Amino acid sequence: MPACLVHALDYTRGLALTARNLCLAEEKRLDLFTLCSSCFGNLSRAKYLLENNRGLRKEVNQILAEVGKEYKGEVEVKHIITMLHDDITPRKLSSFVEKQLDDVKTAAFYGCHMFLPHKYAAFDDPEFPYKLDRLIEATGAESINYENKTNCCIGCGSFFGSVSEEASARLADQIVGSAKKRGVDCIVTTCPFCIMQLELGQLRTERSGGEAYRMPILHYVELLGLALGLDEKSLGLSLRRIDPAPLLEKIRC
């Protein structure tokens, strides 16, 4: 449930919605696991606020009591990137790689809520995050430095406003353009929302007479899937808005 939207309308009730998801995991005695950096950020934020602010926790639990739930604070929040980097480690991961992606040049795109603010999940360096880069390198691929590595895709928070639509279009253009200039084969993200924004942004640029970047945007798990020898069909890569065929061709060679 995207409480990321509701908290814009009511801070405490938005928090209660997120807390309900934490409760569902708690009841099953499981940790919460996400593929999306916004889900991760939002769940980590709720966990942090509820565990560091007794007053807020009381308010939230009063709301949750109306639906027969209580947040106790026993759940861990994990993202596929935190799990792969911290629990499995890039070193171990590289031992499973069947197809070294040696010639593949990538641009890591972190996704704000994965690592900001540092105090919520304390996952990576807030100014110079590096964990996604290490995971990319575990597949044999290269992760380059470029100016928009930690930029915002403008997918979250404001995508309903006409003003931000304009900002979003310009920003996607800037992010993809700067990666293209460095000659990468694809951009690798931690978040499905970033994928959507960066793909749609490219199509918008193209439609309005701008450059046709045709830059494939992959979630890290898709890059990893290719390195583990999974075929592109089972990875669903043929369904993408931007055709990753040139990247796949390079990997096959």
Partner 1 sequence: MSERVDQGEVDVVTRARNFVTLMLQRAVSEMAVEVCEQCGKCPASCPVSRHIESFNPRHLIAKVSLGRIEELLKSNAIWTCTSCLKCKERCPENISPYDVILILRNLAIRAGYEHPVGYDEFIDTIIEEGVPQQPQRVRTRTGERRDRASFGLPPATSPRDIKKFSEVLRNIVRGSVLV
Q: How far is the CB of 51 from partner 1 (least distance, A)?
A: 8
2 near partner 1, judged by CB under 8 A? yes
Count the Cβ atoms, other than its own, within 10 Å of residue 33. 16
Runs of H (alpha helix) within the chain = 3-9, 11-27, 37-52, 54-65, 80-82, 90-94, 112-115, 118-121, 131-137, 162-181, 192-207, 220-227, 245-252
167 near partner 1, judged by CB under 8 A? yes
User: And the tokens for 174?
Assistant: 């800037």
CA distance 186 to 136: 12
SS3 143: strand
Q: Which of 25, 33, 35, 56 touches partner 1 (CB under 8 A)?
A: 56
Question: C-alpha angle with apex 214: 245 to 108, nearest 5 degrees?
Answer: 90
106 near partner 1, judged by CB under 8 A? no
Cβ atoms of 60 and 22 within 8 Å: the answer is no
89 near partner 1, judged by CB under 8 A? no
Task: State phi, psi for 203 to the nearest 5 degrees.
Answer: -65, -35
Q: Which of 134, 170, 180, 214 touches partner 1 (CB under 8 A)?
A: 170
Using CB under 8 A, which residues numbered 181 to 210 contact partner 1?
Answer: 200, 203
Q: Which of 136, 152, 176, 248 touches partner 1 (CB under 8 A)?
A: 152
Q: Which of 119, 122, 211, 231 touches partner 1 (CB under 8 A)?
A: 119
Q: Which stretch binds partner 1 (CB under 8 A): 28-36, 160-168, 214-222, 227-235?
A: 160-168
Q: Which stretch binds partner 1 (CB under 8 A): 3-11, 92-100, 187-195, 227-235?
A: 3-11
Q: Which of 76, 99, 130, 157 touches partner 1 (CB under 8 A)?
A: 157
Cβ atoms of 26 and 40 within 8 Å: the answer is no
User: And the tokens for 223?
Assistant: 């890059």
Interface positions with partner 1 (CB under 8 A): 1-2, 4-11, 13, 16-17, 20, 41, 49, 51-56, 63-64, 66-67, 112-113, 116-119, 126, 151-152, 154-161, 163-164, 166-168, 170-171, 200, 203, 240-241
